Structure 1
Amino acid sequence: MPVDVVLPVVALVFALAVLATAIIGIGTLCWFGLQLLTVPGVVVHEFAHKQACHLVGVPVLEVAYFRFGDPSGYVRHAQPDRYRKSFVISVAPFLVNTVVSLAAFLGVAILVTSVVGSPLSLELLADLRTVSSEVLVLAAVLGWLGLSVGMQAFPSTGDANTLWVRSRAEWRRSPVVLLGVPVVLVIYVVNLLSWLWADVVYAIGLAIIAFYAVGSVGL
């Protein structure tokens, strides 16, 4: 093969290799950044599972509050002897994460209100230019906590699977467990919609509620 043909081919292969390496590197960095973003939410989520186990008297075998892997965190516990215990353990993160996320967003809203007046003001972005860097950093940290924790509020598919198996096994003996079936379906649907950023939308919704609440009561 002529040299004038070989050199362009080699250059093209080399350029494609460099491009592929860059894309993989950028993808890895994005994944790593996303993992770091979710750290507070995962920790609160698993903490809620663990505390729920203690609340209902189910022994905890192993806890990973956060790790770089799939899943990002987990709580392994003994098999609950009653359906209601499984239900409490499974849905605890939704309640705890929602409360913590809402509290963080309320902190942001109150902080903004104390500095610029109303968090619902149309001139909010212009007013924020006059805010000190310390206040902006604190608001950013609280906002990160609110977003991260809110995004991790929904129970996982594994939690839904646990409830579904218990429901199928126990509904004849105790029909009241059927009341938990709609919750199981909601968990499945929300986890499916997470591909459409449903978890992010939920967290943003909590932020909107917090800002509206602070603005409406004039804190």
Structure 2
Amino acid sequence: MTGGALGALGNAAITIAVAPGILSHEYAHVLACRLTGVEIRQRPSLALLESAATIEHDPVETFGQDFAIAVAPLVVNSLLALAAFFFATRLDPPVAFVPLWLGLTFGLTALPSHDDTASLVAGARTLSPGLRPVGYAIAVPVRAVSYSVFLAGIVALFWTGALLALVRPA
């Protein structure tokens, strides 16, 4: 097998393992598009043999739209992870495995991806001079975390652990 084929198989295995999180991540973008009035061109799919699942939507017109669409998975997947972890920590094994797995998939896929945040800093530049510092203050950290896959992975692990810790019974 070639390196490309092995990479594709690796992507397929990871995609299958975290499929619920990937789908909820992409559909969070869809929800944000609908809430901000941005038309969707193509619905998301899992893209088993590719490195990423994406949705296609019309260009955004405002920084607010761009930011909402970029960070929607953080909000939606974090809430889904909290709910799944809540049930996982209150059920007995082996039943608890299913909500625990779902919580992990939602938590690990909650952060915006590199592509999700690609236009945030440029969008902050378009804000009025009075709002531009605020735009940069929220766009730069989000972009910085998603810029490196390695850093994003580490942050995702800590984020998922923090979500689990929030619902762990005392």
TM category (shorter chain) comes to: 0.7 to 0.9
What percent identity do the matched residue pairs reach?
A: 26
Higher helix fraction: Structure 1 or Structure 2? 1
1:189 to 144, 149, 161: 144
Residues 173-199 of structure 1 deviation map (CA, whole Å, 9 limit, x = unaligned): 35324323233222233232135x321
The question of 1:40 aligning with 2:20 is answered: yes
Counterpart in the other structure of 2:82: 102
Flag the structure with larger Rg. 1
Which runs of no fewer than 5 residues in structure 2 stay unpaired? none
Contact 2:15 2:46 in 1 (8 A): no
Counterpart in the other structure of 1:93: 73
Contact 2:9 2:49 in 1 (8 A): no
Counterpart in the other structure of 2:37: 57
Q: Which amino acid is the alignment partner of residue 31 of structure 2?
A: Q
2: distance between equivalents of 1:152 and 1:71?
14
Residues 72-92 of structure 1 deviation map (CA, whole Å, 9 limit, x = unaligned): 311111122222111111111
SS of the residue corresponding to residue 55 of structure 2 reads strand
Which runs of no fewer than 5 residues in structure 1 stay unpaired? 1-20, 113-134
Contact 2:120 2:143 in 1 (8 A): no
2: distance between equivalents of 1:33 and 1:69?
9
Counterpart in the other structure of 1:207: 164
Contact 1:42 1:72 in 2 (8 A): no
Computed over aligned residues only, the root mean square deviation of the Cα atoms, in angstroms, reads 2.5
Contact 1:37 1:144 in 2 (8 A): no
Q: Which amino acid is the alignment partner of residue 188 of structure 1?
A: R
* TM-score, normalising length: structure 2: 0.84
2:59 to 56, 72, 79: 79
SS of the residue corresponding to residue 60 of structure 2 reads coil
> Offset of 1:28 from its aligned partner?
6.8
Residues 33-53 of structure 1 deviation map (CA, whole Å, 9 limit, x = unaligned): 322122111100000000111
Counterpart in the other structure of 1:152: 109
Counterpart in the other structure of 1:180: 135
